[in-house]
Amino acid sequence: MRIIVQNSKCQGHARCAAQAPHIFKLDDAGYILLGDIEVAKEEELPASRGARSCPEHALELDRAPG
């Protein structure tokens, strides 16, 4: 699974990082780092929780294989 990060929508709410700090890394100003996130199989649950927790819908789940 992959998380597509739409950085332009991030407002620094940090709810994603509160759910899964090892998956959602923030910069010094509290915004999500640039770039999509590859998620290992065993991390899919916390990753999808974190993605859904974003009130700005900046984190989109991509479950397409490959």
From its phi and psi, is residue 35 left (phi > 0), alpha (psi between -120 and 50) or beta?
left
In the complex, the smallest distance separating the C-beta of residue 26 from ligand F3S, rounded to whole angstroms, is: 6
Q: Tell me 28's DSSP state.
A: T
In the complex with ligand F3S, which residue's Cβ is closer, 39 or 59? Answer: 59
Task: From residue 1, give the alpha-carbon distance in Å to each of 27, 49, 50, 62.
Answer: 23, 13, 13, 6
Q: Which is nearer to ligand F3S, 16 or 66 (CB)?
A: 16
Query: In whole angstroms, how close is the CB of 62 to ligand F3S at the nearest point?
Result: 15
The minimum distance between CB 7 and ligand F3S, in angstroms, equals: 8
Q: Which residues bind ligand F3S (CB under 6 A)?
A: 10-16, 26, 31-32, 54, 56, 58-59
Q: Which two tokens stand for residue 20?
A: 């899964």
